Amino acid sequence: MIIRTAANEQEIEQSIETYWANEPPHDAADKASALDHWLAMYAGDPEGFWIAVDEMTGQVVGVATALRRPPQWILANFYVLPAYHGQGIGRALLTRAVATHEGCDRFAVYASLHPSAQSLYMQFGMFPQPYSIRFMGSLENNLDLPSHLAAEKQPVAEILSSLNAFDRDALGFVRPVEHQRWGKDADYYLVKTKNHPVGYFRVAPDRLIGPLVVSDARWMTPTLELAIRKQWEYSPGNQEFFVPGANTAAVAYLLAHDYRVVELHHLLSSHPIPGLAKAVFHDTDFL
C-alpha cells in the first residue's frame, strides 16, 4: 500500500469514491456538490490531501483530508473502502495527515459514531466534546424581528476583517479563503446594534443557515431571528442549522420553535474550543 499526497484533480475524483462507498449520495446534485467541495479543499491545501493507493491495482482505497487553520488542524474527510477495512490503512493515513500540522497545535474532527473510529481519534489525542446537532424546520414569514439589532447585507471582501475578528474571538482561528468562496453563491450580513457590529451570518439557496458568529452569547437568539427572516426572504422553505451542543441558546430557541433534530455529530478535539456558544457552523468540515 502506498500512502502519499494526491497528485492532481483526477485523483481527487477517484478518492471521493471512498466517501460514496461509505456514505452513498442521495442524488446527482449531492454528488456534484461534494466533488466541488473536495476539489476546493485540495486547491486550498494540496499538502493536506492524503490518499492510500493499492499498488497492485492502482486504485485509490483511502483518503484523509486535513484543513490547517492555525492554531487548529481539522480532519475534514477520512474514509477507507469497506473491502480494505481492518488492514491498518486508516491508521497509516491518519498518521501522515496529523504529521502535516505546521503552525497548528490543536486537533479536531467530527467523527462517525463507530467505536473503532472514535477510539482511533482518541489514540491521536482527540477527545470527546459536546455533540453538535443538525436541526431542520421552518418558521412562518410573520416572525417578529428584534428591534435593537439590524442586519446589513455586505460583500464579503468589504467585511472580511470583521468576519476574521469574530471568528478569531469565538473559534480561535480565521478562515478568509472559505468566507470568500462561500460568499460567491450566498449573502453575508453584518449584525449591528447602534451601528456597532456584534456578529454576522450567511444565508444561501440551500437553506442552510451558517456560518453565524456573534461577539457575545447574549446576541445569539436575536441574531438567529434575523438570519431566519433573511433566509426566508432569500429562499422560502425548510431551513437547516448545524449547532454546536455548547450553544444552548440556539438549541433551546430552535426546539421551542418546533425545529426537529435530524442527526447528532460527535466532535472530538485535543483542546476545548473556547467560544462554541457563540457560533453556528456551516458544515461538519468547517467548524
Residue 92's pLDDT is 95
For residue 35, what is the enclosing H or E element? Answer: helix 28-44
pLDDT tops 90 at residue 23 = no
In the prediction, which pLDDT does 26 show? 76
Q: Is the pLDDT of residue 125 over 70?
A: yes
Phi, psi of 181 (to 5 degrees): -75, -45
Q: What ranges do the domains of the chain cover?
A: 2-104, 134-263
Average pLDDT, the chain: 91
Which residue bears the cell 495527515? 97
Give me the count of residues in the chain. 287
Residues above pLDDT 90, as percent of the chain: 68
0.95 exceeded by pTM:
no
Architecture of domain 2-104: 3-Layer(aba) Sandwich (3.40)
Class of the 134-263 domain?
A: alpha beta
Over residues 171-194, the mean pLDDT reads 93
pLDDT tens column, 62-106: 999 999 999 999 999 999 999 999 899 999 999 999 999 999 999
Confidence (pLDDT) at 140: 67
pLDDT > 70 in the chain, percent: 99
Query: 3-class SS at 127?
Result: strand
Residue 79 pLDDT: 92
Residue 142 in this model has a pLDDT that exceeds 70: no
- The stretch 144-157 carries a mean pLDDT of 89
Average pLDDT over residues 215-228: 95
Banded model confidence at residue 284, pLDDT cuts 50, 70, 90: confident
Q: What are the φ/ψ torsions at residue 113 (nearest 5 degrees)? A: -85, 5
Q: How many CB atoms are located within 10 Å of the residue 252 CB?
A: 12
Does residue 141 register a pLDDT over 70? no
The sign one gets for the Cα dihedral 161, 166, 169, 173 is negative
What does the alpha-carbon distance between residue 238 and residue 225 come to, in Å, rounded to a whole number? 15
Average pLDDT of 8-13?
A: 92
pLDDT, one tens digit per residue, over 160-180 is 999 999 999 999 999 998 999
User: How far is residue 226 from each of residues 151, 205, 212, 251, measured CA to CA in Å?
Assistant: 7, 16, 11, 16
